A = this chain, B = another copy of it.
């Protein structure tokens, strides 16, 4: 008799975004004329940059002729893309990452889940709270946790709260942990980590033999000169860190699908008398369970590094960051306490009047026809907070602020 992976049964049924969709759908049924503005899911809204569009058209034409057709590509990604990434994202910034340490994929969500394939079952996992739910759920599915308690916290995970009280800086764990998920600029709080904070984590990982899984999907939104763009700007990180990057939020690839993961050669793990290269393990995993990202998509991603492409992406990021600034300033004018939105496309606000996150969700939806994301959906320590995404049209952002006034000021 076949057995299922019973760890799946530990997953909480009410996943965040389906629950949001359910409430919005119910509201829409009762209010069919309501023009709802969605600032919930962090999904881009603006078209692909022209340089990328042109490159993808050229790539499609290459596939239309026998002479230039491409079949299976390298599982690790094409050199034309890996070389661009190594140069523009790392080497030109003085960071040592080689092209063959870069693994191109179809998404950071996939990579950050799949990476668990190469780690053993006995690892102790640390995550911040609130956190991007995929880190938690993939560990639950892999059997690295016990069941969830009433707050939704899973047994065996080490939760590191990030709240107003600690300035959104997670404390080093009081007990040794083996895998540490860090996401900067942070989803959902929109906060960033200084060089000093990251150095502490790298030092910790070196001391305890831990691995840092560093999610830098929002790197393009860093505006402050002194905030690191990559974990590899930190001394020693090449020995202890894996970095995830994506074209989703800079080049608008949420529906086009391309990302990459960096696994430096310097990460080696002792097994008996040997040292096993983490890069070799990931390479083997990808060669066995992945067949490379689409050629057409990789050509589009490479165009993001052309001079034209880089300019267009800068404009795109600036556009969303102006949205973030408008949201941030507009909410502050209403007396709402806000975090993030300066080096990240998310604004993390304290719910006014001490409302809990879901109650505030309902108020915003019913009175403002606005959809955001309840902070408690990202973890117990997110209760009393609320996430707004800057991914929208200017018109919608401006309209949303007007509606906020009404919703918050109301009776």
- A contact set with B: CB distance below 8 Å: 1-6, 8-9, 11, 15, 41, 43-48, 50, 53, 56-57, 60-61, 63-66, 69-73, 106-107, 109-110, 113-114, 117-123, 134, 137-138, 141, 178-179, 208-211, 252, 254-257, 269-271, 276, 278, 281, 284-285, 287-297, 393
Contact = CB atoms under 8 A, between A and B. Distances in A.
A71 B254 contact: yes
Contacts of A296: 56, 256, 294, 296-297
Residue from A56, A66, A285, A288 with most neighbouring chain B CB atoms (10 Å): A288
Nearest to A280: B8
How many identical subunits does the complex contain? 2
A109 B289 contact: yes
Given A4-B269, A8-B284, A106-B291, 10 more contacts: A4-B119, A6-B271, A41-B72, A46-B66, A53-B60, A70-B255, A106-B257, A107-B290, A109-B290, A254-B291
B44 A71 contact: yes
Contacts of A123: 2-3
A134 B289 CA distance: 7
B107 A4 contact: no
Contacts of A294: 106, 255-257, 294, 296-297
Contacts of A44: 71
A61 B54 CA distance: 9
A209 B48 contact: no
Contacts of A73: 255
A269 B64 CA distance: 45
B255 A295 contact: yes
B63 A2 contact: no
A12 to B, nearest CB: 11
Given A53-B63, A53-B64, A109-B291, A117 B5 contact: yes
A106 B106 contact: yes
Contacts of A255: 63, 69-73, 292, 294-295
A69 B253 CA distance: 11
A257 B117 CA distance: 22
Given A66-B46, A256-B296, A291 B110 contact: yes
A132 B252 CA distance: 37
A288 B141 contact: yes
B256 A63 contact: yes
A178 B53 contact: no
B178 A2 contact: yes
Nearest to A268: B4
The 8 A-B residue pairs with the shortest CB-CB distance in the complex, in nearest-first order: A3-B120, A1-B209, A113-B289, A43-B71, A70-B255, A2-B178, A71-B254, A53-B64
